[in-house]
Chains A and B, each alone.
Chain A
Amino acid sequence: MEDELIWNDDSRALQDSEWSKLSSDFTNAGYREGITAGKESALQEGFDDGFATVGAPLGRELGLLRGMASALLSFLSRPANSEKQIALEEARDIVAQLGDVRFSDIVPPDLEAERHAREHLEAEREADDDADLEMNEELKEKRAVETLEDMMKRMGAGSISSVETQTTRPTIDDVRRLKERLVSLSEGIGIPLQWS
């Protein structure tokens, strides 16, 4: 009698655990294949979006400035313009500074990517919390915050540093200033510019 009860309990427990194993095995297998398929289905769409909305216009903007500055520098380097030393130096400096700008310096942050990264971070934290509930809550909190801070720092690296000198990376504001310098240099030597 007692034996039977125990057997029943065990059997029930066994059934439950078999059941949840079955459930999680198949769910996980589906998830794994789903994530791959989902990713592949969206890559091209993301690519086209990034190309058209950010990459091409941003690249063109910088390229235009570089091309114009380069042409102006060649023009001012001609012997006929040998009296325009100051303008020549200015052109040279603009060219050099524009040449230093990288894609990573001026690309705007991908907000959706950042939000998703934060979601992952939170999910990770929850998983950690579940795993060892009573373990050093404070430390984990701190670590997560630090990771976030690092991320924010990397994202915002540009905007704070523009006043500091050569050692920091140029920013989109620097590019804007270089554009103004280019325009006034060009107008200063009698070449009005029109922007397409």
Chain B
Amino acid sequence: MDFDLEDLVHVEQTFYEHGYADGHAHGRVHGLIEGRALGREKGFEMWEELGFYEGFASMWQAIHSSQSGPDDRTTHHTKQLLELIAQFPRINPSATDASDLDIPKLFRQIRSRYKALCATLGVRPTLRSGVSSSPTRQTDDPAEAPEGTRPDASRKVWPVQAAENQRPREDLNF
């Protein structure tokens, strides 16, 4: 019998590789789909909050420029807040590594600038920074929830972000 163990090993390898290639292609489709779902959710959460501050600041800017004469402190805060938000990336920074941005720090600055603006205006910082008890808000304040306490549905975001965290300054995990 012309039986060669080498051949057999080779044949096993070939089968394996065939399976692997098919599986890899299929897995990629699933990875893209799942990653996309997580990225959509995360991007929405972050930019919904930032957009709120941005809209809030620009509306007050519009109010002050068209109504009462602008008050210096308000103008200062709105300007600063809008400048900070303009620095915030609209794409996941891990895709562009060029930036020197400290994202968590920037987010903190934005939040405290928003609170300062509210204080100046004599407005309670509603919806975001307080503990909002409004039921429709529960899922909208990811940033206020400590890591790892989020509901199961978004659990799987952490592997993606864990990968990001291995590279410097790229985490979106506040």
Q: Could you tell me which residues of chain B, from 13 to 35, have a CB within 8 Å of some CB in chain A?
A: 13, 15-35
Per DSSP, chain A at the interface is: helix
Which stretch, A31-39, A125-133, A136-144, A156-164, touches the partner chain B? A31-39
Pick from B16, B39, B60, B136: contact of A47, CB under 8 Å: B39
Given A57-B90, A103-B44, A192-B62, verify A46-B32 contact (CB < 8 Å).
Answer: yes
Contact B160 A47 (CB under 8 A): yes
| A76: min CB distance to chain B, Å | 10
Task: Say yes or no: is A44 at the interface (Cβ < 8 Å to chain B).
Answer: yes
**In whole Å, how far is A193's beta carbon from the nearest beta carbon of chain B?**
6
CB B41 to nearest CB in A, in angstroms, measures: 6
- Chain B: interface residue total (CB-CB under 8 A): 70
The answer to whether B127 touches A50, judged by C-beta atoms less than 8 angstroms apart, is no
- Counting chain A residues whose Cβ lies within 8 A of the other chain, the interface size class is 35 or more
Are A44 and B35 touching (Cβ within 8 A)?
A: yes
Bound together, the chains give a CA A3 to CA B28 distance in angstroms of 53
Contact of B58 among A59, A60, A61, A196 (CB under 8 A): A196
Which residues 84-113 in B have Cβ within 8 Å of A in the complex? 90-92, 94-95
Minimum C-beta distance from A41 to chain B (A): 6
A60 vs B66: C-alpha distance when bound (angstroms)? 25
Q: Contact check: which of A29, A32, A60, A110 meets B50 at CB < 8 Å?
A: A60
B47–A59 CB distance below 8 A: yes
In the complex the two chains form, is A99's CB within 8 Å of B51's CB? no
> CB-CB < 8 A to B26: which residues of A?
31, 34-35, 38
Known: A47-B42, A51-B39, A60-B90. 5 other contacts (CB 8 A): A60-B48, A67-B58, A70-B55, A71-B63, A191-B63
